[in-house]
Amino acid sequence: MSVRDMVEKDYYAALGVPKDASATDIKKAYRRLALELHPDKNPGDPRAEARFKEVSEAYDVLSDQSRRREYDEARALFTAGGVPGGHPPGGYGYQPGGFGSPGYGGAGAYNLDDLLGGAGAGGGPGGIGGLFDNLFQRSPTGRGPRRGTDIAAEVTIPFEKALSGLEATVRLPGAATCVTCMGRGARVGTTPRTCTTCRGLGVVSRSQGGFALSEPCRDCLGKGSVIDSPCPDCLGTGRREREQRIRIPPGVADSQRLRVRGRGSPGERGGQAGDLEVTVHVLTHPVFGREGHNLTITLPVTFTEAALGASVKVPTIDGAPLTVKVPSGTSSGRRLRVRGRGVPRGGGGHGDLIVTIEVTVPRPADLSPKARTALQDFANAHPEDPRMSLMAQMEGRS
């Protein structure tokens, strides 16, 4: 994560959570948005794709305690003395002279590049960029070979693919500069133009109650420039995700972690590479569920099928429906087991398909007079009180 990312991007706004959100709330918000915006669900929708990336990037940072702290600290530094009343989403509030540190006051407008680059920022040694480098750069320790760090990543896959296994593209945290546009975000051959609203300053002034306030320009979101023709490879962000293809084995479970040896960060001075640790999220299915290696399905049957017994068709996840025999006298909630039609096991073989019977009751509107009479006849012919045993058991206790 670059300092620029830390300052420019509002990861909390991207996830729609408050700044003091708990880790659980952040995870929940991410899961909900990731499911909604997942490319598999929005094929060919570049806006959803861009949002998906934005949300993923925000989660990468906010889900990691130490990275979240760095991010909070960076933003707190940059927004200190900023616009009262908080910052608009995606913006960052700072006002001329508002840094409160000698050397920066009264400079008028700040160009983030100047500040971060150190050169020309004036003031303290190395400028703000130097300060941040010191704060966030982890200096290598020791002289011998050093193993590369492990990289944690996440991937979300459809329910069916968790059963069959797949080659998945895993997006690694920490985006890299887009090589197509060299990070400028503009389509090759075009240039970002200076924002006319703020004349490239990134901030606009307005007066309120006798005070002159500066706030980020809404037209360019404080960048000072506007991209009319965005780079198609990074959608104008100037950043591109790093990706890795990994093999996900059949039968993977939701929240399972896969460790891919040697696919993390490269080692230093001849040290071996770290590992890639991928947490797999499996999307839910409208019909099937999972209990470990068993597939589950709820199967509606009519009252007469349950009472008299029947052979009924059950959909399968991977092919033609299969026929299941519902024994006569089957109650609602009974679980039938179809061996070997569940989830593949790592060591070979499959779990079972668990069919839970749900007896349906016809709605009055669906009953013909003839059917209604037949039901009444049945009730008369079969007087029964299924609550008898409950009563008897309660009597036994008193």
The type of residue at 151 is I
Count of residues that interact with Zn ion, criterion CB under 5 A: 12
Specify the residue, 195 or 353, whose C-beta has the smaller distance to Zn ion: 195
3-state helix, strand and coil shares in percent for the chain, rounded to the nearest 5: 30, 25, 50
Alpha carbon distance 167, 278 (integer Å):
13
166 binds Zn ion (CB under 5 A): no
| CB of 185 vs Zn ion, minimal distance in Å | 6
195-234 mask for Zn ion (x: CB under 5 A)? x-xx------------------x-xx----------x-xx
Q: Closer to Zn ion by CB, 220 or 338: give it.
A: 220
Q: What are phi and psi of 287, to 5 degrees?
A: -110, -45
Least distance (Å) between residue 50 CB and Zn ion: 12
Can you state the angle between helices 23-37 and 46-62, rounded to 10 degrees?
A: 160
Please give the distance of CA 153 from its chain centroid, rounded to a whole number.
11
CB-nearer residue toward Zn ion: 21 or 226: 226
Question: Which stretch in 176-184, 242-250, 263-271, 342-350 sits in contact with Zn ion by CB under 5 A?
Answer: 176-184
- Which residue lies nearer to Zn ion by CB, 234 or 295? 234
Which 232-251 residues touch Zn ion, going by CB under 5 A? 233-234
CA distance 345 to 249: 10
Q: Give the nearer residue to Zn ion in terms of CB position, either 195 or 282.
A: 195
Toward Zn ion, which CB reaches closer, 101 or 180?
180
Q: Cβ atoms within 10 A of the Cβ of 241, count?
A: 19
Applying CB under 5 A, the span of 13-21, 194-202, 255-263, 303-311 interacting with Zn ion comes to 194-202
Give min distance, CB of 94 to Zn ion, in A: 14
**Nearest CA to 336 among 322, 347, 348?**
322
186 binds Zn ion (CB under 5 A): no
Our finding on whether 178 is near Zn ion (CB under 5 A) is yes
Q: Supply the minimum distance, in Å, between the C-beta of residue 181 and Zn ion.
A: 3
The minimum distance between CB 221 and Zn ion, in angstroms, equals: 8
Task: Show the CA angle centred on residue 36, arms to residues 17 and 317, nearest 5°.
Answer: 140
**Smallest gap, in angstroms, from Cβ of residue 3 to Zn ion?**
20
Q: Six-digit token pair at 46?
A: 């570049």
Q: In terms of CB distance, is 178 or 282 closer to Zn ion? A: 178
Q: Which is nearer to Zn ion, 161 or 223 (CB)?
A: 223
Q: In the bound complex, what is the minimum distance in angstroms from residue 53's beta carbon to Zn ion?
A: 13
- Which among 322, 318, 350, 356 has a CA at the least distance from the CA of 337? 356
Q: Do 250 and 163 form a contact (C-beta atoms < 8 A)? A: yes
With CB under 5 A as the contact rule, the residue among 1, 151, 181, 297 that binds Zn ion is 181
Sheet with 353-360, strands from edge to edge, namely 289-291, 294-302, 353-360, 335-338
Give 129 or 185: the residue with its C-beta nearer to Zn ion. Answer: 185
Among 180, 229, 296, 316, binds Zn ion (CB under 5 A): 180
Tell me the CA distances in angstroms from 81 to 18, 92, 100, 215, one per residue in order. 20, 11, 7, 12
Beta carbons within 10 angstroms of residue 249's beta carbon: 14
Residue 170, SS3? strand
Pick the piece of the chain touching Zn ion (CB under 5 A) from 42-50, 133-141, 193-201, 242-250: 193-201
Min dist CB 118 to Zn ion, Å, is 24
Helix (H) or strand (E) holding 94: none
Q: Which region, judged by CB under 5 A, interacts with Zn ion, from 189-197, 245-253, 322-330, 378-386?
A: 189-197
How far does CA 283 lie from the centroid of its chain? Answer: 11
Report the amino acid identity of residue 396: G
Token pair 């039968």 is found at 251
Q: Which is nearer to Zn ion, 176 or 253 (CB)?
A: 176
CB of 197 to Zn ion, least distance (A): 4
- For residue 395, CA distances in Å to 216, 385, 386, 392 come to 75, 16, 16, 5
Least distance in angstroms from the C-beta of 74 to Zn ion: 23
Pairing of strands 211-216, 203-208: antiparallel
Sites of contact with Zn ion (CB under 5 A): 178, 180-181, 195, 197-198, 217, 219-220, 231, 233-234
